[in-house]
């Protein structure tokens, strides 16, 4: 049995708060999919259908914006998002990315890797 969305959100909030206070990056993983949070920016890799689902998700979360210069300069499929928001909203968004963009099931296992 996997984790619940509520337990993952608590983990996500804690990890974002810790990353901010330590000025470190943190990587959230679900299966082979990853979202990197660093300095109020999210980095994720998306294919064609995932990119369309991400753009639809961004319509629900207006505070998150694609960082055009960074995304244009990145390798193909990499998207950088401005994440200037509180930890709870960042956690809600990351949870939605895994569920709605990457298609993770409700009980997916969230892994957190911290790095400086």
pLDDT, tens digit (0-9, with 9 covering 90-100), for 89-115: 999 999 999 999 999 999 999 999 987
Q: Are 107 and 1 in contact (CB under 8 A)?
A: yes
Q: What DSSP assignment string belongs to 13-79? A: HHHHHHHHHHT-EEEEEETTEEEEEETTEEEEE--HHHHHHHHHHHHH-TT-EE-HHHHHHSPTTEE
pLDDT, tens digit (0-9, with 9 covering 90-100), for 48-85: 899 999 999 999 999 999 999 999 999 999 999 998 99
């Amino acid at each position: 049995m996997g984790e619940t969305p509520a337990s993952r959100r608590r983990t996500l909030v804690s990890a974002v708060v810790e990353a901010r206070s330590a000025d470190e990056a943190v990587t959230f993983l679900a299966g082979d999919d990853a979202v990197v949070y660093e300095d109020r920016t999210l980095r994720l890799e998306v294919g064609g259908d995932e990119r369309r689902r991400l753009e639809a998700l961004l319509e629900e979360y207006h505070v998150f914006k694609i960082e055009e210069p960074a995304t244009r300069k990145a390798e193909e499929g990499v998207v950088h998002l401005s994440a200037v928001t509180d930890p709870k909203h960042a956690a809600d968004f990351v949870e939605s990315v895994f569920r709605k963009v990457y298609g993770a099931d409700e009980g997916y296992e969230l892994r957190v890797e911290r790095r400086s």
